[in-house]
Chains A and B, each alone.
Chain A
């Protein structure tokens, strides 16, 4: 198992290298540069800026600079936020996005799975229809609708929560963003769980288990759930990577200082190093969570072995 994990980490290195290379050159294909703006710069000043950031050198050399720095764990300075290095921006923002994403995903997994199992056990009854209906609605209402509705109702009408802001991480400031992030995930998890649970309940070994006279609880939780969890686990891996690297919509609407917006802002501002840093970060998260999913598979499914 350890050897497998080690091997997977090694194969991740060329993957990251390819991603970094493609992203680097794709970014440069976009017209304009970090120093084009509404109030245009005097050419002399622009040349000075480009020299300071090595942007006046040939592209291949800039690429080598970037790789060299990256290998030393240096993401470089941000062009548009020169007071901070990209690493400093991540250090400030990543914990925020991680917290919100992890809370949203954990809640979505627990509540969503519970609802899914409940619906599966009452297949084609009212409960089932309600859960499926709510889940479908939940996954179709976009976050940019849920978030302002939350603000209007819970913040402006009931005054239970603040409209926005991080408030140095106060609990009440997290409720809105977490709920908004959670709802679509919850809906997807509930639907996935319902489907896989129904399938699992029809499996041969479950029939055997029932024939042996095991209690309902034992059948559902011990035996059926194990098989039903696999699709959830496959879904949760990439979902975790996406949630924990932040959401531009939720962060903008709730005015949360996470890292979700850096990808979009960085791309629009041609902040090359910021975009590259975000790409690397998302790639690392994706690779890691995919690996975790594969390991969990081996834990849950007795048929899977990595030797």
Chain B
């Protein structure tokens, strides 16, 4: 290859990467594990969509670089004495990207839209604490009956069923973001297309080419635009993690929210502190089918749990990108005391002995072994985890078989409460509150795959929900976990998730946090 051709190549590459140009724009190429399913904030559910929507929209509250709640579209708010009525004062002078003011009516319209059954919003339950929300979603009441009100153009009032201390935290979720009423009415379902979409966040949507990129450009009308340092964000879907690492190495990506964990040691050696690891608010767990013998016996569930060597799983299977867990609610929620199973501190050998004793007591022997089938959804690491557990239970005489199905089949089976012994599941917090996890063990919850039902647990959860005092509420939730998880193992916690991201040294202001959320408006690039 001669030099001319080579320099032409370089020139073209630079053009393609958008690093040249008269304005010397600051472009942030941000790897994002998958494309958004939708850019309609009310129809989204995944973490990948949240990364994009957090830049495009601004909820009543929002998050700073450390994912702590700060005022967003609402400048301030007051809460009534009984904790049930929130009155939000919208930011004076804040506008949509088309220049029209953000009004309380926009919020009324948006929230009614979220709970309207015709919208079929996956995350309609984010508004469940609001009066009548659940009845509207179920089609029993009209959207207009939702407990929200525009007192005047800049005052938005919400009435809740019960004091909900995590309500402000919930408002950082994309399902509660406002959409522009005039915009939605003008374009209908097409309002989310580039060119049509009007948003109120730090960025506006410029392009969405599926499987290629979502391009967002700085919104000059954003109230804090003066402090937004990155001009263009390209969200690049990085399905193939190895390619994403190579693109990062070549400078085509500035960050990616996932890394090939099996190469962790090499990556750390190569990229040093650009590889970021830390706890993430989520739990990787198994569920027993608790309404079926022999799994209806908590003693047996504990014996299996005790015998599982979580340190091995975290270290060998997950290369320390996960953390051994003995509680459902991960640490990191202010004011909450996690309740672990009592063998959390015991040595693995003692635990195995204890487990063996229980199994013998329950009448299992080499002649009459306990048989257990683990169901898991397709993924190399889910498989390795299940195989490791199979090996760990072998010395106890438990005959473990494995059943792998694709993700849709797996969760289809779990949601229909099909027959099974043990199955894998995972939960990533939607907002920073223990209730978000523990609700999965309440009687009749859709995600209660274990079909666990316990009056004492449900009672404690109800008491917590009715409690107006945040500290007392946390105590109740903690007690609920002690009953439902530590005593009864409504879920079998295995590992806490960890985030594993790669962030270029050129990118400044990226603060590691348990929610792994990083709004672009707080970042800058050299």
Partner-B contacts on A (CB < 8 A): 30-46, 48-49, 51-52, 80-84, 89, 92-93, 148, 151-152, 155-156, 159-168, 170-173, 251-258, 261, 268-270
Among B35, B249, B250, B409, which residue has its beta carbon within 8 angstroms of that of A31? B409
Known interface pairs A83-B193, A151-B246, A163-B250. Does A31 touch B412 (Cβ–Cβ under 8 Å)? Answer: yes
Question: Would you call B6 and A48 a contact (CB within 8 A)?
Answer: no
Are the C-beta atoms of B9 and A49 separated by less than 8 Å?
Answer: no
Are A155 and B246 interface neighbours, CB within 8 A? yes
**Considering the chains assembled together, what is the distance between the CA atoms of A33 and B412 in angstroms?**
7
Evaluate contact between B37 and A81: CB separation under 8 angstroms: yes
Residues facing A in B389-424 (CB within 8 A) are 405-415
**Selected contact of B413 from candidates A32, A84, A93, A167, CB within 8 Å:** A32
Contacts of B210 in A (CB 8 A): 81, 84, 89, 92-93, 257
Known: A31-B413, A42-B125, A45-B120. A152 touches B9 (CB 8 A): no
- Interface flags for B114-137 (1: CB within 8 Å of A; 0: not) read 000111111011000000001001
Give the chain A neighbours of B269 by CB distance below 8 A: none
Q: Which residues 430-453 of B have a CB within 8 angstroms of A?
A: 446-447, 449
Give Cα A167 to B247, complex, Å: 13
11 additional A-B residue pairs with CB within 8 Å, beyond A32-B408, A38-B425, A48-B119:
A32-B410, A36-B409, A36-B411, A38-B407, A40-B414, A48-B117, A81-B210, A83-B37, A83-B192, A162-B17, A254-B243
| Contact among A41, A156, A170, A268 with B408 in the assembled complex (CB-CB below 8 Å) | A268
Contact between B411 and A171, CB atoms less than 8 A apart: no
A-facing mask of B221-246, CB < 8 A → 1, else 0?
A: 00000000000000011111011001
Residues of A contacting B138 in the complex (Cβ-Cβ under 8 angstroms): 44
Docked-complex contact A172 and B240, CB < 8 angstroms: no
Whole-angstrom distance between the alpha carbons of A79 and B137 in the complex? 20
CA distance A36 to B208 in the complex (A): 25
Can you list 9 residue pairs at the A/B interface with Cβ under 8 Å? A39-B45, A44-B134, A48-B119, A51-B117, A83-B36, A89-B210, A155-B246, A160-B6, A255-B236
Check A36–B446 contact: CB distance below 8 A.
Answer: no
- Interchain nearest-CB distance for B270 vs A (Å): 11
Q: Please, how many angstroms separate the alpha-carbon atoms of A12 and B363 in the complex?
A: 66
**Chain A residues whose CB sits within 8 angstroms of the CB of B383 once the complex forms:** none
B211 close to A261 (CB less than 8 A): yes
Note all chain A residues with C-beta closer than 8 A to B13: 162, 172
In the complex formed, the residue of A with least CB distance to B448 is: A40
State the CA gap A297–B428 with chains docked (Å): 60
Contacts of A31 in B (CB 8 A): 405, 408-409, 412-413
Give the chain B neighbours of A83 by CB distance below 8 A: 36-40, 192-193, 208
Chain B residues whose CB sits within 8 angstroms of the CB of A164 once the complex forms: 243, 246-247, 252
CB contacts between A and B, total, < 8 Å = 180
Q: Which B residues are in CB contact (< 8 Å) with A161?
A: 9
Question: Are A166 and B212 also in contact (CB < 8 A) when A36-B408, A172-B12, A172-B13 are?
Answer: yes
A82 touches B37 (CB 8 A): yes
Q: List chain A residues, Cβ under 8 A from B134.
A: 44
Q: Which residues 132-186 in B have Cβ within 8 Å of A in the complex?
A: 134, 137-139
Q: Which residue of A lies closest to B39 (CB)?
A: A83
Contact A165 B236 (CB under 8 A): yes
B414 CB contacts on chain A under 8 angstroms? 40
Other-chain residue from B38, B121, B252 in contact with A81 (beta carbon distance below 8 A): B38
- Which of A30, A34, A45, A89 has the most B CB atoms < 10 Å from its CB? A45
Q: Complex Cα distance A241/B242, Å?
A: 29
- B93-127 vs A, CB cutoff 8 Å, 1 = contact: the mask equals 00000000000000000000000011111101100
Minimal beta-carbon separation of B417 from chain A (angstroms) = 11
Tally of B interface residues using CB under 8 Å: 68
Contacting residues, chain A, for B252 (C-beta < 8 A) = 162-165
Contacts of B211 in A (CB 8 A): 93, 251, 255-258, 261
Given known contacts A48-B120, A148-B242, A253-B240, A160 and B212 CB-to-CB distance under 8 angstroms: no
Closest CB-CB distance, B17 to chain A, in whole Å?
8
| B43 in the interface (beta carbon within 8 A) | yes
Determine if B415 and A36 form an interchain contact, defined as CB atoms under 8 angstroms apart: yes
List the B side residues contacting A171 at CB < 8 Å.
Answer: 12
Q: Contacts of A34 on B, CB cut-off 8 Å?
A: 408
Q: How far is the CB of B523 from chain A (nearest CB, A)?
A: 21
Task: Answer whether residue B209 sits at the interface, using C-beta atoms and an 8 A cutoff.
Answer: yes
Is B426's beta carbon under 8 Å from chain A? yes
**CB atoms of A151 and B243 under 8 A apart:** yes
B120 engages A49 (CB within 8 Å): yes
Residues of A close to B377: CB separation below 8 A: 38
Instruction: Check B293 for interface membership: any CB of A closer than 8 A.
Output: no
**Interface members, chain B 1-53 (any A CB < 8 Å):** 1, 6, 9-10, 12-13, 15-17, 35-40, 43, 45
- Say whether B237 contacts A255, CB under 8 Å: yes
B411 is contacted by which of A40, A48, A148 (Cβ under 8 Å)?
A40
User: Chain B's nearest CB lies how many Å from the CB of A142?
Assistant: 15
- Cβ-closest chain A residue relative to B444: A43
Tell me how far the C-beta of A268 lies from the nearest C-beta in chain B, rounded to whole angstroms: 6
Q: Are A30 and B407 in contact, with the CB atoms below 8 A?
A: no
- Measured CA separation A151–B244 after assembly (Å): 11
CB-nearest residue of chain B relative to A160?
B9
How many Å lie between the Cα of A39 and that of B240 in the bound state?
Answer: 22
Residues of B within 8 A of A166 (CB): 209, 212
Q: Which residue of B lies closest to A49 (CB)?
A: B120
CB-based nearest A residue for B250? A163
Q: B77 in the interface, Cβ–Cβ < 8 Å?
A: no
**Contact digits for B344-360, partner A, Cβ 8 Å, 1 yes 0 no:** 00000000000000000
A152 (CB) vs chain B CBs: closest residue: B246
Task: Find the B residue at minimum CB distance from A50.
Answer: B120
- For B38, the chain A residues whose CB sits under 8 A away are 81-83
Top 9 closest pairs, chain A to chain B, by CB:
A32-B412, A32-B408, A257-B212, A167-B16, A257-B211, A36-B412, A36-B411, A48-B120, A49-B120
Nearest CB in chain B: distance from A82 CB, A: 5
Q: What is the CB-to-nearest-CB distance from B250 to chain A, in angstroms, rounded to a whole number?
A: 5
Residue of B nearest to A34 (CB): B408
User: What is the CB-to-nearest-CB distance from A112 to chain B, in angstroms, rounded to a whole number?
Assistant: 24
A32-B408, A40-B414, A42-B446 as given contacts; A253 in contact with B117, CB under 8 Å: no
* A38, A81, A166 pick with most chain B CB within 10 angstroms: A38
